[in-house]
Every structure is written in structure tokens, then in C-alpha cells.
Chain A
């Protein structure tokens, strides 16, 4: 242990937190600050025929009404496929079409309610399995599947999976599903933007990655990075909810348009209906297992419900596929991971990305395997566990492996007596 490192030192900002003096973005306000409310699509999917903001603009106290035509480059996001404000059509219920800045929230909301948008409604697609079929209506013009290079799925291939199934004594199959989840971080999406006299926009941001958002915003506004100063650093919970830019682009555009400081604080309802979420997964497993419990082949088809736009979904699918075999050494692996678009709010990052569902499916499958070969759940994990120098399904060599050590410690903490031959195992070396 060091002098400071390894010590149970209280938080650097703990006294600020307990005295309520930590300044979160919503605690920032400026004189003459305007407040934002958004018009969000009441329909799930459709073409936008007309946007009438004339009555909203005439509402006393309204400073500016922002539509797609006010956005210099109306395309952004980690997959560079999202509009800041929808222009031609909408892909999910709650997608923002117009933003209003007014003297207070009530006035902005009153103006939003006077906005009229005409839609030509289209049939939405909700089920990713349906969306994968060729005749299903398209969520996006490019098709309902993300292309990973030349094919619409991420491929992981190791060894010969069919040979592995032939060598196996038992085949264990199951389909696993995980749900859409909200981050439910206590501090919602909120942003304050202010135009300085020298043309710099300062943005009080809840971003978890301000340098990436600075790049995205520079692209939207078509300005160099030194005209955008993100202020933040202390955020009221993230869990991945603040990796996508939700409000900073709108407040910046409205600050430019009005010259006044602008604040947008989402309601909790907007948070649930329109923010990014952890997308649902369907994971189809087929495992080949020897009588002694060793897994010799694994084939998985994994399907990610990506929602309406790309965002971090392709990354999430990659990450899932790289590690969906779990911390086990399996010699023959075949994985196809799909990123499927549906007319839901956008799936993106949430604590654990694509590995949260993988950990679930994988570990329930391990118990199912144990039962199929008549082994104890501990035994099945110990004998398949990765060790130092083992490779993953992508042929990545692992170092400082500690799976077996965590199992031994956990058993000890729970007062479970594991058999001697398991307690004798370690990640450092394999038994002869």
C-alpha cells in the first residue's frame, strides 16, 4: 500500500455534496435567461408534410422558435445519422421536431401547444424479428439492419463449430431475452448555453464525454472547436445516459439565435419516452458439451433492438459479440450479432453496454449446462474458466485473469465449502 493509494480516503468533493453546494447544471442560471420546451412527435412513424409555428411565434414572451431549417448541419450522433430536429419524417414517438425558447417554462410550453404539424402516418415496426424480414417496412431508408462491413451482422469465428458439436456428448439450447431499461439517473438531461461577446458559446453540460460532444457540436454548428467551451465535470449520475448529446445542441442553437442565455431541462416523462435507453436483446444459444462438463462448441445468434437511430448500437453489438462467450475457454465459436432498427426511442449506451445481457444469458446457460451433464454449477464454471494466457473468441490473449480467485473468495464469504480439487485450482497455472 502507498502513502495515499490504497487508502479509504473520503471523496474529494464529498463536503460539497453533503452541504448541497455542488453546482449541478440545473443550479446554473443567468439574468434574462430563456427556457426551452420541445414539440415532440405524437406519431410513431410518418412523413412530416407541414410544420406551422406561426401561432407559437406570436405568443407573448416567445424569443425564438427553432426548426430543422435553422440547423447548419442537421445530422449528428455516434453513427452520424440523427437529425437535431426532425425534418422529413419521424421514426419514433417523442422525436423532437421544434424547440421554443421563451421567458419561462410555462410560456414555452404554451407556445409548443400552438404548433401544428401535419403527418402522413406510416406503419411502424416494433419487433426486431419482424424487422429482419425482407418485406417488412423500412425503419430507415438504408434498411433495417446495420451493415458490419459487407454483411448485416458481426461475425466471430473460432475453430470449427460443427466439428465441435459432433464431438460433444450433449447439446444445450436456449433463447434468452433482456428488456429495455432506463438509466433512471437522478439528474435528468439539462443544458445551459450562453453566447459570449467574442462569439464563443459556453455550455453548462451534463455530458459524460464533453470532448466527443464538442466535436459533434462543432459539426452541427459548423464552427471550430475553440468557439465551444463545455463546462461540467460533476454530473448527477450518468450510467451511460449522458453519452449521447440530448440538449446541448438545441440550447446552443437557441443561444446563437437569440443572443441570450438559454436553459433546457427535460421533464422526467421526456427522460423516459425520448432519451436513449438500454435496448432489448434476444440471444439464441446452442452449446456442445462433453460429459465431463467442458464446453467444446458454442453458436450464438444475438439480436439487438437498436431503436430508431444508430448512435452507439453498432459499438454495443461489437462489444457484445467480442465477449458473449463469457469468461470461459471455448475452442470452437460461431457468433452472428445483429443490430436491428425498430420504431422505438434510440437505444445506446447503458452501464455494461452489450455485455450486461451477455452476462445474463451466459450465466443462466452455465447452470443449464451443469444440469444437463449432472454437474455442480461451481464445478462447471471452474473447469471451463479462462486462465492466464487463454484466448477469447476474438483470439485476444488474457493476462491477470482472476475468475477462479473470485469464485473461491465468494464461496468463502458465503460459508460454502468447495471441494478440494476446485480450491486447489488457480488462474496462474493449469493442472496437468
Chain B
């Protein structure tokens, strides 16, 4: 049994038929072919699948797809203006905050949710904000540097 689901994905309306038990992550990846949110743990422990729902960072692997009816979902595909990438993406690139790149889309979205609410966070606030995102490559050092570089520009 499938149900009709309508929501806004990266600023565009989408309609898709989903099973009641489908996760938002599976619908994004397998039905809408939006592949930047990654399936790494599928239990809400790692943050690689994080997306923004009405501006809040959420692990999409433990979010039922049907719960985003009428809401705004954002993935990194929806960041930036035209050909211009988002300042966070630019900072992640310049500061070498992405090594293997697998956790990167999720961390960038969590950072965006933080900066949208708190444009001038302290290093401790940034560290706290991304503590739900596992990264095995970077030791988080250059990730935090990159987010702080954007935060500093806001000051």
C-alpha cells in the first residue's frame, strides 16, 4: 500500500507515492535520486543522512517519509544561488574539511542549521552542534575551522 506525499524539496514541489514505513532517506535516494544524504548506519547514530526539514537538521534515516507532508526539505543539492556555492561549501573546500567526503553533506547541513539560528557561534557551540555527525577521517579539526571561518565572516 502506497500513500501520496507532497513536499518541497530544495525549493521545488515534489509528489511521490511512498510506503507507510519508508524512511525519508530511502525516498530521497531510491525514489527521487537525491543521493547526497548517505546511508551509513541507518539507525540515526552517525548524521551522514542529515537533511533540513523546515530549517531543522534531522537524521532522515529515522524520519518516516510521510511526516514531511507539506514541509520544506533541503539537501546540499539545494544550497547556493545559481552557480554560486554556499559560503559553507566554499569554506569546507578551502579548509580541507572534507577528506573522503562521505559525511560532508550531512555536516554542512547541520552547520547551516546552526548558523541560520546563531550566525556568530563560539568554537564550543560549533563543536557541540556537530557532535551528532561522525567523521572518521578529519578528527573534526578542519571541519570546525571551516565553520568558524564562515562564522567569523558574519562577525
Contacts and interface: CB of A to CB of B under 8 A. Distances in A.
Q: Do chains A and B touch in the complex (CB under 8 A)?
A: yes
Interface of A: 10-11, 13-24, 26-27, 29, 183-188, 234-239, 265, 267-268
A27 B104 CA distance: 15
| Binding site secondary structure of chain A | loop
A186 B48 CA distance: 8
A59 B48 CA distance: 33
A245 to B, nearest CB: 20
B137 A237 contact: yes
Nearest to B79: A19
A186 B93 contact: no
B77 A15 contact: no
B38 A18 contact: no
Given A10-B94, A20-B36, 12 more contacts: A11-B98, A15-B85, A17-B93, A18-B93, A18-B104, A19-B85, A24-B102, A27-B35, A29-B30, A183-B136, A188-B40, A268-B42
Interface residues of B, number: 39
A56 to B, nearest CB: 22
Top 7 closest pairs, chain A to chain B, by CB: A20-B36, A17-B101, A236-B102, A17-B98, A27-B35, A18-B89, A20-B105
Given A16-B101, A17-B101, A186-B136, A10 B93 contact: yes
A186 B137 CA distance: 9
Contacts, number: 97
B31 to A, nearest CB: 11
Contacts of A26: 29, 35, 38-39
Contact of A268 (B41, B98, B99): B41
A14 B39 CA distance: 20
Contacts of B79: 19
Interface of B: 29-30, 33, 35-36, 38-43, 46, 48, 75-77, 79-80, 85, 89-90, 92-94, 96-105, 108, 134-137
Residue of A19, A20, A183, A236 most packed against chain B (CB within 10 A): A20
A11 B136 contact: no
A20 B75 contact: yes
B42 A186 contact: no
A20 B102 contact: no
Contacts of B97: 18
B81 to A, nearest CB: 13
Contacts of B46: 186
